[in-house]
Homo-oligomer: A and B are copies of this chain.
Amino acid sequence: MSKIAQTPEPPYYAVIFTSLRTEGDNGYGEMTERMVKPASQQPGFLGVESVRENIGITVSYWSDFESIKAWKQNAEHLIAQKQGREVWYKEFKTRISKVENHD
């Protein structure tokens, strides 16, 4: 159950991942659960918000760009990314952005 993430004062980074799923689970649910812990233990991880209806939006928050790059290269995450491209997602977009202010 997703909540509104508690993040520090800007600047920090947000990775906006928007996706459209293929039909069927194909191990997707198991993978998302398996990814939560290593992601949240990454240095620089600040929080995550995730919602899915017809499309899914997952926004993860990070202290800096280097932490995002490190998570992108994580071994387990690389396997999940490959499965995502090949099996789980019909279409997706990843946007890396710098949060300049919030209220």
**Interface on A for B, CB 8 Å cutoff?**
1-5, 7, 10, 13-14, 16, 18-20, 49, 51-57, 59, 65, 91-103
Contact = CB atoms under 8 A, between A and B. Distances in A.
6 contacts: A4-B91, A4-B93, A5-B18, A14-B97, A65-B100, A98-B100
Q: Interface on chain A toward B: helix, strand, loop, or mixed SS?
A: strand
Contact of A95 (B1, B14, B52): B14
A102 B98 contact: no
A64 to B, nearest CB: 12
Contacts of A98: 97-98, 100
Contacts of A5: 18, 93
